[in-house]
Structure 1
Amino acid sequence: MLEGSREYMRADAKKNYDNLLSIAWDVFAEQGANASLREVARRAGVGMGTLYRHFPNREALLEPILRERFDRLTQKADNLKSASASEDALVLWVQEVIAFTHDYQGIISVMMGAIEDMDSALHSSCHALRAAGTQLLTRAQSEGKACADLDGDELFDLIAALAWLRDQPSHTARSEHLFSVIANAILINAQEVKN
């Protein structure tokens, strides 16, 4: 095979990869994490074989899309550690993670599964995201601003529960109120113990 042909094939494969990611971003945003992979391939103008050559399963396709958002949320936690009061940083970050999960309906169950599955393509990014939240929680606890009997895993579970609730049309209106109740319980309990 000629060198130029190989370069063309690499360029063509890269173009397909980038196009699939771009289309998948739109399809997942429209239809949620369980969107049809066939629809992604159709809109990208490629066959299922091409899609599976680049992304052997749904998580492999979700990973590069979500990693960028997870990395942004992890960076946001790092920025909040130095820019905000510990209790404000914790509450703001939790709100942002919940809002992110709302952008991709059904993503919270994918995230919760990935955090437990070390073989998941999303495990590393989800683990980093949970660790970022744990650091914000630990900082608030060390300053006496958050209750001491909550750990990072439980915080992630609370985020998942609130995110799930927000995804249910009949409960959306209550989700904001319940977020406030939970945030106040985490923060107020610490103040009560202090006094």
Structure 2
Amino acid sequence: MSGVFGVAAALRATTSSLPRAVIVRLDEELGAILAMLAELLRTSRHEHVVDEIHGLREHLCASLTAGISEVEALILAKADALADEHGPIPSATTTAPTPVEGSSGRKVDELRGMPPPRVSGKETNHYLQEITRRGWVAEKGGGGHVKVWGPHGEAHVFSSTPSTQGSVRRLRRLLEQIDHQRKDTSDDE
């Protein structure tokens, strides 16, 4: 029977090794590529392409994050089912998953309570302040970019230069989405 508890504990422990950091790194790399593409397309008057690519990037990262969360839930459900079949797990074999180094949850915890970074764009600063007032966090990244993290670790990268109106529009849309989700949540209660 202790073998079952060991398997259940091992299953729980595997959730800490799910590749969440890979999604964060992929998002950062895609953000840098998007910034370079934005600069190239802005000079050729094709900014709408940048918005389309940004949407694809957000969808890809959100899908990957949702997939990992689903795998984690399935692993934990299987561990719980194994434990339930054989009674409660002794406390000696219970292990809490540890955060993966570089995971988005840890980043959010590190930045929580800190003011948003100041950037040169007045509108960008305004939206960053409003977003952080709603429980999100922000940090300044390389190459004139700002990364905004949601309370569940979701991340969005925006250009912080005032000439990039596409980023200002995306920040405004993100703020609207946050407000819409908060309204939906409060309506459900």
- Pairwise TM-score range, normalised by the shorter structure: 0.3 to 0.5
Q: TM-score, normalised by structure 1?
A: 0.33
Higher strand share: 2
Greater fraction helix: 1
Considering Cα pairs closer than 8 Å and 6+ residues apart, tell me whether 1 or 2 has the greater RCO.
Answer: 2
